[in-house]
Structure 1
Amino acid sequence: MRTFRRRFFENKTAVVCLIVLLLLALAAAFAPVLSPYDPTQMFQDHRMEGSSGEFILGTDQFGRDIMSRIIYGARVSLMVGISSVLVSVAFGTLFGLIAGYFGRWIDGLVMRVMDVLFAFPEILLALAIVAALGPGAFNTILAIGIVNIPIFTRTVRGAVLSIKNQEYVESARAIGASTPRILFLEIFPNVTAPLLVQASLAISGAILTESALSFLGLGIQPPDPSWGGMISEARRYMELAPGMIIWPCVAMTITILSCNMFGDAVRDILDPRHRGK
């Protein structure tokens, strides 16, 4: 951990991206304090106004403050992104550990199920699940979580296959350690590095999928603010009030770019080939 912290703070990309993500998280957590107005409050006399001292980023077609809606939208995007990835990590890790450790027909069965899920494009599979369960935050989290399970299953399975015959695992078997102990105390700690990298990258994909579902009307439902929903509403007024679509896109781009660059930086930090450079 000491080496990881040193190499982390030496990586400027990782530090900058972490600061951006922490600022976004703080903005989402303290949205009621930071937002100038309630995100659903309508100012009928200020519809589709540009940036001003009263409305920093302008207003939408209903006279709602865009800045307030973006801040509250960050709360929705981060909540859905992190929660769905936690669902994927939990089930993907379990399936990957079981498939990689036991092998044979168990491995074949698990991986064939994952191959079936992989056969569908992510957004189409998420659309099918949400359409079957109904729109809403919980169903959106569940749908995105299910879609990403195969990615984590394969990541963990590959790591388990490479370490399950290592000396420390064989020693644990020799002293009579139970299978759950071997899986979760001997093997799992040694697969957390690729899991952490994959999770940081998956959050950006989850945020993008949530925005796509909200854009299509199957994600977060109005009047709750969502970046995808804001973009969907703003596309009709692009020429009259371009700020309505520009600012949610900027917020989404910064968030997704920060997540991706942070994941790439962590991968470089944890890569043994980069150590000592």
Structure 2
Amino acid sequence: MNTFRQNLFRNKTAVVCASILFLVVLSAGFAPLLASHPPTEMYNEFRLQGISSQFLLGTDQFGRDLLSRILYGARVSLIVGLASVAISVLFGTLFGLMAGYFGRKIDGFIMRIMDVLFAFPEILLALAIVAALGPGMFNTILAIGIVNIPVFTRTVRGAVLSVKNMEYVESARAIGAGTGRILFREIFPNVTAPLLVQGSIAISGAILTESALSFLGLGIQPPDPSWGGMISEARKYMELAPGMIVWPSVAMIITILTFNLFGDALRDLLDPRHRK
């Protein structure tokens, strides 16, 4: 653990990305304190206003403060990203452990279901689920969580196949350890590295999918702020108030790119094959 911590601090990409993510999480968590105006409060006399001392990033078509809406939109994106990936990790880990360890019919049954889910483009499958369940934050989280389960199932299954016949697993079987103990005390701790890497990258994908759903009107519903919803609303006012589309786009790009780069840095730290 100490060696990993030392390598983490030596990796400049990881340190920079972790610092940016910390600031994003901090901004989202303290949005009520940092926001100068309520995110849904309308100031009709200041509609489509540019940068000013009163509205640091300007206002939208209803006179709502863009900075406040971006801060609260960050909260929405992080909640959706983390919660949906948590669902994916939970079920993907369980299915991957069972498929990789038991093999044969169980492996075939689970992986054929995953293949069916993989056959659909991610955004189309998420759209179908949200359309069936209805828009809203909970259904968006559930839809994105279901869509990402096959990725984690394959990741964990591959890791289990590589370690299930190792000597320490055979030793646990020889002393009469039960299946549950072997899976969760012997195998699972040794497959967490690829799980962490895939999880950090999946968060960025979940944020992007949530933004796409909100952009299409099937994710977070107005007047609640969402980066995708803000970009969708800004299409009609790009020439009058370009900041409406620029600032939420910049916030989303920085967050997604940082999660991706942090995932790559984790991969380099945790996988010896990628170390330079």
Corresponding position: 1:114 with 2:136:
no
Residue aligning to 1:96: 96
Corresponding position: 1:80 with 2:100:
no
Corresponding position: 1:181 with 2:204:
no
| TM-score normalised by length of structure 1 | 0.99
Residue aligning to 1:131: 131
What is the rounded CA distance, in whole Å, between the counterparts of 2:16 and 2:154 in structure 1? 30
Residue aligning to 1:227: 227
| TM-score normalised by length of structure 2 | 0.99
**1:172 alignment partner AA:** A
Corresponding position: 1:260 with 2:268:
no
Please show how residues 99-248 of structure 1 align to structure 2 within 5 Å. Answer: 99-248=99-248
The offset of 1:185, in angstroms, is 0.4
Aligned to 1:224, what secondary structure does the other structure show? coil
Residue aligning to 2:34: 34
What is the rounded CA distance, in whole Å, between the counterparts of 2:143 and 2:191 in structure 1? 25
**1:151 alignment partner AA:** V
Residue aligning to 1:18: 18
What is the rounded CA distance, in whole Å, between the counterparts of 2:155 and 2:44 in structure 1? 52
The runs of 5 or more residues in structure 1 that have no matched partner are: none
The offset of 1:27, in angstroms, is 0.7
Q: In structure 2, do the counterparts of structure 1 residues 274 and 115 end up closer, same or farther at CA, with 3 Å as the change threshold? A: closer
Question: What percent of counterpart residues are identical?
Answer: 78
Corresponding position: 1:272 with 2:267:
no
Aligned to 1:144, what secondary structure does the other structure show? helix
**1:141 alignment partner AA:** I
What is the rounded CA distance, in whole Å, between the counterparts of 2:81 and 2:274 in structure 1? 29
The offset of 1:272, in angstroms, is 1.3
Aligned to 1:48, what secondary structure does the other structure show? coil
**1:97 alignment partner AA:** L
The offset of 1:274, in angstroms, is 5.1
What is the rounded CA distance, in whole Å, between the counterparts of 1:112 and 1:65 in structure 2? 49
The offset of 1:84, in angstroms, is 0.2
The offset of 1:9, in angstroms, is 0.3
Aligned to 1:220, what secondary structure does the other structure show? coil
The offset of 1:89, in angstroms, is 0.1
Residue aligning to 2:70: 70
What is the rounded CA distance, in whole Å, between the counterparts of 1:272 and 1:71 in structure 2? 38
The offset of 1:224, in angstroms, is 0.4
Deviations 1:70-101 (A, max 9, x none): 00000000000000000000000000000000
What is the rounded CA distance, in whole Å, between the counterparts of 1:128 and 1:244 in structure 2? 29
Instruction: Count matched residues.
Output: 276
Deviations 1:11-47 (A, max 9, x none): 0000000010011001111110000100000111000
Aligned to 1:152, what secondary structure does the other structure show? helix
What is the rounded CA distance, in whole Å, between the counterparts of 2:77 and 2:161 in structure 1? 35
Structure 1 residue runs of 4+, over 3 Å off? none
The offset of 1:273, in angstroms, is 3.1
What is the rounded CA distance, in whole Å, between the counterparts of 2:240 and 2:33 in structure 1? 30
What is the rounded CA distance, in whole Å, between the counterparts of 2:63 and 2:273 in structure 1? 54
Residue aligning to 2:57: 57
Please tell me the root mean square deviation across aligned C-alpha atoms, in Å: 0.7
What is the rounded CA distance, in whole Å, between the counterparts of 2:37 and 2:55 in structure 1? 9
The runs of 5 or more residues in structure 2 that have no matched partner are: none
The offset of 1:271, in angstroms, is 1.6
